[in-house]
Structure 1
Amino acid sequence: MVEETLQNMDESIISVAELKRKLPKQVNHNTLTTILEYLEESDKIAVSIKGITWIHNDHPGLNKAISRGIEL
């Protein structure tokens, strides 16, 4: 539910407070924190001072280009 909300948000950056407002009321703050930590560790979101942004891209063309690219 949190992942889907972040993936489909209109804004490029969202604060934790704004994310809480978009989620159903039953989402506990501690649970949300744990979910956000997991998403950050799995490289699906980036968390900064300004807020949270979705960075995961599973487009097959992008993955193919990355695998064929040169490492600098």
Structure 2
Amino acid sequence: MPKYTPTLKNILKEHHEFTSKSALQRALPKTIQTQTFNRILNYLEKSNKIIFTKNRAVVWIFSDDPKLKKVWKESVPL
């Protein structure tokens, strides 16, 4: 039994892009129910962590880089 089972969020962060939802689902270590999978993707999209391209590819867009957060915090609004 593996010590670490990657989550959907971690797989997206690591690979950044999948050509389709089914390709992403195949990358998961074990099957996940379709309803749960879609609910997680909807949450990640609404929280601006992923986007779906015209081709329905799934792309991770969220950055949790501390340097970027610092620059954003210190920036001056236009």
TM-score normalised per structure 1: 0.82
Any stretches of 5+ residues in structure 1 without a counterpart?
A: none
**C-alpha RMSD of the superposition:** 1.5
Please tell me whether residue 16 in structure 1 is matched to residue 21 in structure 2.
yes
Query: Does structure 1 retain, via aligned residues, the 8 Å contact 2:17–2:59?
Result: yes
Paired residue for 1:35?
A: 40
Structure 1 or 2, whichever has the larger Rg, is 2
TM-score normalised per structure 2: 0.76
Paired residue for 2:65?
A: 59
Any stretches of 5+ residues in structure 2 without a counterpart?
A: 1-6
Tell me the matched-pair count: 70
